[in-house]
Amino acid sequence: MKLKTRLLVTFLTIILLPVVLSGIAFAGIGLTLIRAQSDNLDMKIADYFMFSDSAQTYSKATEEIFTSLQQQADLNAANFESEQFLEEVGRSLEGKSSYLLVRKNSDIYYTNNPKAAERIFDILPEYGDETENSGMGYFYDDLQKLVKQIDFSFQDGSQGSVFVITKINSIISRSFLMDMFIAIVLILVFTSIMLTRWIHKGVFKPIEELNLAMQQIADGNFDYVLTAKCDGELEENYKNYEEMRLRLKESAEEKIQNDRKNRELISNISHDLKTPITAIKGYVEGIMDGVADTPEKMEKYIKTIYNKANDMDRLINELTIYSGIDSNRIPYNFHKINVSDYFGDCIEDVGLDLESKNIELNYSNLVTADTMIIADPEQLKRVINNIVGNSVKYMDKKKGMIDIRILDEIDSIRVEIEDNGKGISAKDLPNIFERFFRTDASRNSSKGGSGIGLSIVKKIIEDHGGYIWATSRENEGTCLHFVIRKYREAETNE
């Protein structure tokens, strides 16, 4: 249930439930008092107003009957000696909290409420007091009774009086007020307890669970799952918490993995830097000690130092590029370049290095001479160098061979760089473009490697709008393929 609906139900319950329960309590207590009064007074009480209205109201309630009795006294007083007539009048008074009493001399001649009549008979007005009262009646405050008197004479000459006696007993008594106060307090307590339990179960308990879960997250426990059930807005909060928990857990696991890979990267780079530095120091010491005593040796030492320095420069450049991968800060300077001219120059540069390492380079270009692409020449050359460098690093044949092919794919060009090295196992092939990944063979090899070269290659190709993949067979060689879209003048004119 949504919070708005829950608040509306709570609001209506706070208003309606106490009103309904108070009404029931009022009716129940009132009915009990009515029955008690009826039992005490030995008279029938018809309605609540008989207990709550003023003496004037009670007087008006019996005024019509009293007027009729006065007329009978004037016209035919003999009716007051008729038991049938008196019973009819008595029955008409029962519903008005009243009863009839007829006195003959100093005795009760007739009454329809003997018990009540005995309690008041001795203090009733004397015969003849009717004229003094002028028909207004007597009110006995201690007995809470209103008495109206009509005097007449019996046929035998005896003095007679007809009394209409009305009980004035307000139901709003002290006991009734106390009972209603207790009932209302109990109703409010019951309503409060019921609403508190309902709101606690539906709102506060889920919020407490959510707070506990958030504390678990703050303490680094990303495995804490909310078990409480809820609905409405809180259900959305639960779902948001679960999504946040899973993301934080994934981020924490990724951070741990990256930290491990960073430590591994540092170890790999330290190894890769140590090797050329050691070689450079050795050759420099040889020059300083006069070992390179011929121009040929001197040239060889200097060339080796230069090559090792280039290896260090390449590694530092890889680290620079790697630092920009996550922040997308790899610098690009895109140009429209001719495929044939560009790759021809690249092959020439790569070929010189491969020749010195006794690796044969084969190059074929199957695209037209005017084929153009949009690319960053420097970064695209980094792609070629990294791929070729990997092929050279893991070449295990005495006669190495690298084939570079440029193929026409209608709207794109495809570059294939294939070697006859040791190859990559099927289980490792899907992961070679991941950062820090190195195959089992490379882990056990003295070649080392930072594990970021191919991840940089993938990033550069994707930033050029292309894609890259690899095929390989163990002990036969590996081929890397990447595709870049052609540049077309028509596309820019549209």
- Digits of tens for pLDDT over the chain (494 positions)? 555 665 666 666 766 677 777 777 777 766 665 565 545 444 444 344 444 444 566 667 778 888 888 888 888 888 888 888 989 888 888 777 789 999 999 899 999 889 888 888 888 888 887 644 445 567 666 677 888 888 888 888 899 999 998 887 654 555 666 777 777 778 777 777 777 777 766 666 777 777 888 888 888 888 888 776 666 666 777 788 788 888 888 888 888 887 887 777 777 777 777 888 888 898 898 888 888 888 888 888 898 898 888 878 877 877 777 776 666 667 789 999 999 999 999 998 888 878 878 899 999 999 999 999 999 999 999 899 889 988 998 888 888 999 999 999 989 999 999 999 999 988 989 888 887 676 654 544 445 556 678 888 999 999 999 999 999 998 899 999 999 999 986 554 44
Closest CA to 317 of 383, 374, 271: 383
The CATH number, out of the four listed (3.30.420, 3.30.450, 3.30.70, 3.40.50), of the domain defined by the range 49-167: 3.30.450
Closest CA to 414 of 341, 484, 362, 335: 484
CA distance 464 to 458: 10
CA distance 215 to 280: 56
The second-level CATH assignment, the architecture, of 233-322 is: Orthogonal Bundle (1.10)
Domain with CATH 3.30.565.10 in the chain: 335-493
Domain with CATH 3.30.450 in the chain: 49-167
Helices 63-75 and 83-94, packing angle to 10 deg: 160
Q: Are 127 and 152 in contact (CB under 8 A)?
A: no
Domain with CATH 1.10.287.130 in the chain: 233-322
Closest CA to 41 of 136, 128, 169: 169
CA distance 367 to 376: 19
- CATH no., domain 335-493: 3.30.565.10
Predicted TM-score (pTM) of this structure: 0.48
CA distance 197 to 201: 6
84 residue type, one letter: Q
